[in-house]
Amino acid sequence: MKAPVQITDYRIKKLHFDITEEVDEFELEKASFSIDVDYELFKYEENPLRYKIDLYLKISPPVDDEMPMPFNFELILEGLFLFESEMDDDEKSYHLNISCTTMLYGAARNIIHQLTGQTNYGSVSIPSVQFSKIAGEKHNNATGIK
């Protein structure tokens, strides 16, 4: 069964990646990092079925860890979404805040995995995140669609 909203395209708006330190005996399985995720929703006035989401993702090594991740990574990924038909505001909000952000995050995970795989340290698979929690925090802060 086809989902009521589809990702039609995504683009990198910002990409910053650097290796923070050379590590001789780096063990990816023991490494840790801090990850920050946020997003903004935008609607197209000319087409009420089209939306854009900017996903902000930042990975940095924790400052007090014995085995920090040797990367700094900042990514802004723009996703374009199309709803198949009009729906009530609650259902649309659910899809935008949960379904669409999750689809876009999957693309971001792939970008990070491919890019880090080109280093001496191996591919990093960032953990899944709970967009329902992020959306709840945004709702509590009165952030909405722009």
Query: What tokens were used for 101?
Result: 């952000």
Do the Cβ atoms of 69 and 124 come closer than 8 Å?
Answer: yes
Confidence at residue 143, expressed as pLDDT on a 0 to 100 scale: 44
The residues, ordered by sequence, that sit 6+ positions from 2 with a Cβ below 8 Å of its Cβ are 84
Burial class (CB in 10 A: 0-12, 13-18, 19+), 98: middle
**Count of CB atoms within 10 A of residue 72's CB?**
15
**Residue ranges of the chain with pLDDT lower than 50?**
142-143
Quote the pTM value: 0.86
CATH code of domain 5-140: 3.10.420.10
Confidence at residue 145, expressed as pLDDT on a 0 to 100 scale: 64
Confidence at residue 5, expressed as pLDDT on a 0 to 100 scale: 95
Query: Residue 33 and residue 60: Cα distance in Å, rounded?
Result: 6
Do the Cβ atoms of 55 and 34 come closer than 8 Å?
Answer: no
Confidence at residue 23, expressed as pLDDT on a 0 to 100 scale: 64
Domain boundaries of the chain, sorted by first residue = 5-140
| Mean pLDDT estimate for the chain | 86
Confidence at residue 125, expressed as pLDDT on a 0 to 100 scale: 86
